[in-house]
Amino acid sequence: MKALEAQQLSKTYRKAKAPALDSLDLEIESGQIFTMLGRNGAGKTTFLRIASTQLLPTSGSVTVLGLDAVKEAKELRRRIAIAPQEAETIYPLTPRDHVLLSLRMRGVEKHEADRRAKLALEDLELAEVADTNSDWLSGGLKQRVIVAMVVRTDADLVFLDEPTIGLDPVNRRKVWEQLTRLKKAGKTIVLTTHYMDEAEALSDNLVIINKGKVMAAGTPQSVKAAVTNRSTRVDVMDRFSKSELAEYGHVVAIAGKLRVLTDADGARRLGDEAVARNATIAIAPVTLDDVFVDIVGEAEKDEDDAD
């Protein structure tokens, strides 16, 4: 079953020259973790805001949990929750207050809300600071408070806009655990992130968007595979110029080294040549990071800058 379906969804903000979403089509399966990737300004937040009934599209449609996000917003709102990008804690409430406010305004009865708040605070390692004024918390703790507000609601679909921003690696994994737990409970998660490892580790499906358009969609594996002839990356530390490498594949300059995205055969040939030249290279499968940069990055420009 589809949890979300967008058809020809477009959004042009008032006074904006270019559309933020440009005839976007996408589908999200129910009970999955779905991730949206894209550069700053690609349109991720715009999409989440339209699907979560905050913002009206200019044209096209979104159906969420079988309900039209524009025409059936009222019914839909009972079944969704969002952790918005750049949400901030409210003075002078504590983390526990935030979670209780979120649960009780959604209609959860007091004792049940208390029980769930305790769990949510434990889930995100906020138990120790549960009754501290949120203003005194560090940035990452505040961010976890926002996430804690949505992990124990009754919503069937939860939107999280960059939930792990500013979190240390340990706490990022705490959030991942929660998202996985929600998924196991049958809920659908729609996530945005700039961390490719996160997308790779968590997503059942993902989409890479650029300038409001879908550039690639599928499982992390299939998206990586879809970039033809670029299954392998070869990092070349020395003894090759950019133009010499061009014959082996697509060349990207990264922090002083040259990275060649190529297939197995190209890697083999380049490897032989590197041995002959006594050059230092490293060969590895491509990561989502490489694919992302390849698809939406200005690889050509970076290359020129490095020369």
Partner 1 sequence: MKTMQTKKTLRSLWAIMYYLGFTPMVRNPLFMAFVFSTPFTLLFILFVASNGTALPYGLAGALTMITTELGLFVGTDLASYKLQNRFQDIVVASPVSPLIYMFGVALSELIFGSPALLILFGLIAEQGATFGALVSCLGVVMLLWVTATSLGFFFSAYAPNTQNAFIINGFITTMLSVLPPVYYSVKVLPVWLAPLAEVIPTTEASALFQGAIGLGYSVEPVYGFAVLLAATFVMLLLVSFKMKWRES
Ligand X SMILES: Nc1ncnc2c1ncn2[C@@H]1O[C@H](COP(=O)(O)OP(=O)(O)OP(=O)(O)O)[C@@H](O)[C@H]1O
Nearest Cα neighbor of 187 from 44, 55, 28 is 28
Provide φ and ψ at 39, rounded to 5°.
-65, 170
The tokens describing 114, both together, are 């208390």
What's the CA gap between 225 and 286, in Å, rounded?
9
Closest to Mg ion by CB, 45 vs 262, is 45
Nearest Cα neighbor of 88 from 142, 137, 130, 141 is 142
The neighbouring-strand residues paired with 29 are 2
Q: Degrees (nearest 5) of the Cα angle 118, 121, 122?
A: 85
Closest to ligand X by CB, 43 vs 163, is 43
Strand 188-192 with 232-236, pairing = unpaired
What's the CA gap between 281 and 238, in Å, rounded?
8
20 binds ligand X (CB under 6 A): yes
The tokens describing 60, both together, are 């096209």
Selected binder of partner 1 within 2, 109, 177, 298 (CB under 8 A): 109
121 binds ligand X (CB under 6 A): no
Is residue 80 within 8 Å of residue 160, measured between CB atoms? no
The size of the interface with ligand X (CB under 6 A), counted in residues, is 12
For residue 274, the minimal CB distance to partner 1 (Å) is: 51
Sheet of 2-11, strand order: 21-29, 2-11, 59-64, 67-68
Candidates 31-39, 102-110, 119-127, 260-268: pick the segment binding partner 1 (CB under 8 A).
102-110
For residue 28, the partner it binds in Mg ion, ligand X, partner 1, none, with Cβ less than 5 to 8 A by kind, is none
For residue 45, the minimal CB distance to ligand X (Å) is: 3
1 binds ligand X (CB under 6 A): no
The size of the interface with partner 1 (CB under 8 A), counted in residues, is 38
Residue 186's SS3 state is: coil
For residue 50, the minimal CB distance to Mg ion (Å) is: 13
For residue 170, the partner it binds in ligand X, partner 1, Mg ion, none, with Cβ less than 5 to 8 A by kind, is none
* Residue for token pair 């230092």: 280
Nearest Cα neighbor of 27 from 9, 10, 41, 40 is 9
Scan residues 9-28 and list those touching partner 1 (CB under 8 A). 14
Tell me, residue by residue from 25 to 64, as one string, x for binding to ligand X by CB under 6 A and - for no binding. -------------x-xxxxxxx------------------
Closest to ligand X by CB, 223 vs 251, is 223
Nearest Cα neighbor of 208 from 1, 7, 24 is 24
For residue 45, the minimal CB distance to Mg ion (Å) is: 3
Q: Degrees (nearest 5) of the Cα angle 165, 113, 116?
A: 55
For residue 20, the minimal CB distance to partner 1 (Å) is: 12
Selected binder of Mg ion within 11, 36, 45, 195 (CB under 5 A): 45
Scan residues 84-103 and list those touching Mg ion (CB under 5 A). 85
The tokens describing 58, both together, are 């200019």
Binding site for partner 1 (CB under 8 A): 14, 49, 52-56, 73-74, 77-78, 80-93, 97, 100-102, 104-109, 133, 149, 159
Binding site for Mg ion (CB under 5 A): 44-45, 85
Binding site for ligand X (CB under 6 A): 13, 16, 20, 38, 40-46, 85
